[in-house]
C-alpha cells in the first residue's frame, strides 16, 4: 500500500483495538439483557392432603388440597426449563397431578392411593399460563374439592412489553351450601349439573373486596395471569374502566389480541391480560356473566398516583 507508514499502521491498530474494546463492552452490557435465560432444572414437591380451608364470609370446607391450600402453590418456570414434579400421597384416596404445560401421556399424571411418590419430568416448551389439577376419578370432584393451581411458563425472550406489575387470579367454583357452623357440604349432584353455589377468585368468596383491594398504580402496566379451573363454567373476564391493551390467549405471546373489553376463558384455559388505568380510584374486576359475579367472582383494584 503506497504511502502507508508505520505510524498509520500504529494508529489503525490502535483504532481497531479501541473498536474491539467498545464492541466487547457492548456485548458485555447488552448480552446479559437480551439473551434468553439458560434452561434450568426446576423441581416442585406436593403433598396431597385433606385440609379444612377457609373460603371467606366465615365459611370453610374440608378440601382435597396440594400442600394444604386452595388453589395449590404457584409454579413459575422459564420456557425451556426441565420441570420435575413429585407428588406424595399418604391418604387412602387416589390422587394425581397434571400440569397442562406437560406434553406427556396420561399414565404419568395418575397416582395410586397410599404412601407412594409420583414423579416425572418434562421440558416446558410452550410459554403461557396453564392450569394444573388432579387426575383421579372422578376428576370433576377432585377439581371441585380444591386440587388445582396455576403454572406460569415465562417466554424465553421475556414478555414483549417488558416489565410489569404481575397479578395472579385463579377462577374456580364451590358446590354445596353451608351448615349452621359455616361448613360447606359438597354436593356431587350440583357438580354434575354445573350449578355452583359460589364462584371465586383464588379460593375465596368475594376476595379482594373494598376492604382488601389489589393495589395498582396509575399508568403502570398491569400483567394479569388468569386461569379458569372451572370445573364447569365459562368465564367472561372484564375490568370495569379498563380496556385490555394486549391479551395473550392461553398466555402465549404468539397469540396476541389488542384493545379487548372482555375475553371468554373456558374451564381448563387461561389468558394473560395487560392494561393500564388512567385515573386514581377503584376498578372492579369480575366474571361479566353477572350470575357468576353475584356468586362471588368479583373484586377490586385500587389505583393510586
Binding site for Cu ion (CB under 5 A): 95, 134, 136, 142, 147
Nearer to Cu ion, 140 or 192 (CB): 140
Of the pair 176, 251, the CB lying nearest Cu ion is at 176
Q: Which is nearer to Cu ion, 110 or 257 (CB)?
A: 110
Q: Which is nearer to Cu ion, 142 or 292 (CB)?
A: 142
Give the shortest CB-53-to-Cu ion separation in angstroms: 15
Instruction: In angstroms, give the least distance from the CB of 87 to Cu ion.
Output: 9
User: Measured between alpha carbons, how far is 116 from 266 in angstroms, rounded to an integer?
Assistant: 33
Query: How many Å apart are CA 197 and CA 207, to the nearest integer?
Result: 15
Would you say 81 or 173 has its CB closer to Cu ion? Answer: 173
| CB closer to Cu ion, 142 vs 204 | 142
Q: How far is the CB of 64 from Cu ion (least distance, A)?
A: 5
Cα distances from 100 to residues 103, 127, 184, 204, 210, in angstroms, run 8, 11, 29, 23, 34
Q: How far is the CB of 224 from Cu ion (least distance, A)?
A: 28
The answer for 221, left when phi > 0, alpha when psi is -120 to 50, beta otherwise, is beta
Least distance CB 94 / Cu ion (angstroms): 7
Tell me how far, at minimum, the Cβ of 54 lies from Cu ion, in Å. 20
145: left (phi over 0), alpha (psi -120 to 50) or beta: alpha
Closest CB 69 distance from Cu ion, rounded Å: 14
Angle subtended at Cα 111 by Cα 252 and Cα 230, rounded to the nearest 5 degrees = 45
Q: Which is nearer to Cu ion, 75 or 298 (CB)?
A: 75
Give the Cα separation of 120 and 213 in Å (integer).
Answer: 38
Of the pair 102, 147, the CB lying nearest Cu ion is at 147
Q: Which residue is nearest to Cu ion (CB)?
A: 134
Report, in Å, the least distance between residue 133 CB and Cu ion.
Answer: 8
Amino acid at each position: 500500500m503506497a504511502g502507508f507508514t508505520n505510524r498509520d499502521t500504529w494508529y489503525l491498530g490502535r483504532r481497531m483495538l479501541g473498536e474491539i474494546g467498545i464492541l466487547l463492552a457492548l456485548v458485555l452490557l447488552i448480552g446479559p439483557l437480551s439473551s434468553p435465560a439458560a434452561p434450568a432444572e426446576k423441581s416442585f414437591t406436593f403433598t396431597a392432603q385433606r385440609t379444612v380451608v377457609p373460603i371467606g364470609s366465615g365459611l370453610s370446607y374440608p378440601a382435597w388440597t396440594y400442600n394444604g391450600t386452595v388453589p395449590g402453590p404457584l409454579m413459575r418456570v422459564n420456557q425451556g426449563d426441565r420441570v420435575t414434579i413429585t407428588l406424595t400421597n399418604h391418604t387412602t384416596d387416589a390422587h394425581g397431578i397434571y400440569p397442562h404445560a406437560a406434553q406427556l401421556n396420561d399414565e404419568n399424571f395418575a397416582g395410586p392411593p397410599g404412601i407412594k411418590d409420583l414423579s416425572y419430568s418434562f421440558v416446558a416448551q410452550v410459554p403461557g399460563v396453564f392450569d394444573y389439577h388432579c387426575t383421579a376419578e372422578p376428576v370433576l370432584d377432585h377439581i371441585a374439592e380444591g386440587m388445582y393451581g396455576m403454572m406460569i411458563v415465562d417466554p424465553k425472550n421475556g414478555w414483549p412489553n417488558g416489565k410489569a406489575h404481575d397479578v395472579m387470579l385463579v377462577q374456580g367454583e364451590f358446590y354445596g351450601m353451608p351448615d349452621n357452623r359455616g361448613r360447606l357440604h359438597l354436593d356431587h349432584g350440583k357438580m354434575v349439573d354445573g350449578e355452583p353455589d359460589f364462584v371465586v377468585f383464588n379460593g375465596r368468596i368475594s376476595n379482594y373486596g373494598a376492604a382488601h383491594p389489589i393495589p395498582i398504580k396509575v399508568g403502570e402496566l398491569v400483567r394479569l395471569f388468569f386461569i379458569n379451573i372451572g370445573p364447569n363454567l365459562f368465564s367472561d373476564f372484564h375490568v370495569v374502566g379498563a380496556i385490555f391493551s394486549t391479551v395473550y390467549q392461553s398466555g402465549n405471546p404468539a397469540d396476541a389480541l389488542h384493545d379487548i373489553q372482555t375475553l371468554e376463558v373456558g374451564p381448563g384455559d387461561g389468558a394473560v391480560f395487560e392494561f393500564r388505568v388512567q385515573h386514581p380510584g377503584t376498578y372492579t374486576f369480575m366474571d361479566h356473566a353477572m350470575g357468576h359475579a353475584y356468586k362471588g367472582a368479583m373484586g377490586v383494584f385500587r389505583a393510586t398516583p
